[in-house]
Amino acid sequence: MSRDQYTFTNPAELYADFEPEKQHQPEPGLDATLTPKADLGEETYRGTARLAGRKALITGADSGIGAATAIAFAREGADVAMSYLPEEEEDAARVADILTDAGATVVAIPGDLRDRAYCRDLVRRAVEGLGGLDILVNNGGKQVFNDDLTTLEDDQFDDTFTTNVSAMFWITKAALPHLVPGSAIINTTSIQAYSPSEILVDYASTKATINTFTKALAQQLAPKGIRVNAVAPGPIWTPLQVSDGQPQEKIAEFGTQTPLGRAGQPAELAPAYVFLASAESSYVIGETLNVNGGSPTP
């Protein structure tokens, strides 16, 4: 390994040769065909046993931020249950191999987060396959841009809320009876929660909801020793962005508006999830950790 996540670097120059390319994929999009490839930390993430013996369930673990988090968790010593859509089997299989190589027990549980029965079953199968559960990462999400509210289909609005918000509720509710003191719940929100784009009215609204859900539930669960936090990514290079997350003409300049002047890579998100999952963040509760290249947040 020539570089790892601890290597001293200038963040403004990191990924300097990376240029997002215009392209379109049908939803949900695959990392396998994303050009250029996203950095999931495959070559760089070095574990130091920060999650040794832990048992994690991650939704959207096949690609992007969820995959980078899964790789980091496995290299930190955790076993991982992966949720993803059946269409994403190719991405999921590749990530599962990386986790297995790291020595993790991997439980693959494909299904649709919009299905309440799947969400409940997902938790049951994760607990069964891992022999318990003490980390839950609600990360799976839907983002499809729309220019004009009068053309925003009711079904898209409902799907975005069901995938991003209802599934988080169903899964968290089903997981709670299994979570022992010391467990961590981490939700993926977004800079869109407080800096919404005019073309992401539905999506941005779900992310504000996720932030508030996190802060409310965190207070309820703190006395039980279960910490709830969120990570709020800025513009990150993932399949979500090229499967109608953004209009095509915006892809080339994706991320350049951040103070750092570039898009982030999934590998740059994973350490935030590791920190919030690990016992080292014992006094961090109800927090939203912004990983966004420097854009101001409330």
- Active site (catalytic) residues: 203
Partner from Mg ion, ligand NAD, none contacting 92, C-beta within 5 to 8 A by type: none
Quote the CA–CA distance of 109 and 132 in Å, as a whole number.
15
Nearer CB in complex with ligand NAD: 90/280:
90
* Distance in Å, CB of 273 to ligand NAD, minimum: 11
The answer to whether the CB of 93 falls within 8 A of the CB of 68 is no
Partner from ligand NAD, Mg ion, none contacting 285, C-beta within 5 to 8 A by type: none
Question: Residue type for 124, please?
Answer: R
Binding site for ligand NAD (CB under 6 A): 28-29, 60, 62-66, 84-85, 88, 112-114, 139-143, 163, 188, 190, 233, 235-236, 238-241
C-alpha distances (whole Å) from 228 to each of 6, 107, 110, 291, 298 are 26, 23, 25, 17, 19
Nearer CB in complex with Mg ion: 139/278:
139
Both tokens of 89, joined, read 């089997």
188 binds Mg ion (CB under 5 A): no
From 20, 41, 56, 63, residue interacting with Mg ion (rule: CB under 5 A): 63
3-state secondary structure of 112: coil
69 binds Mg ion (CB under 5 A): no
* Distance in Å, CB of 278 to ligand NAD, minimum: 20
Of 175, 139, 169, 143, nearest to 60 (Cα)? Answer: 139
3-state secondary structure of 1: coil
DSSP state of 116: H
Nearer CB in complex with ligand NAD: 181/244:
244
* Distance in Å, CB of 39 to Mg ion, minimum: 15
Binders in 75-104 for Mg ion, by CB under 5 A = 88
Nearer CB in complex with ligand NAD: 45/225:
45
Of 289, 268, 253, nearest to 39 (Cα)? Answer: 268
Quote the CA–CA distance of 110 and 96 in Å, as a whole number.
12
Nearer CB in complex with Mg ion: 159/287:
159
The answer to whether the CB of 217 falls within 8 A of the CB of 273 is no
Number of residues that bind Mg ion (CB under 5 A): 3
Binding site for Mg ion (CB under 5 A): 62-63, 88
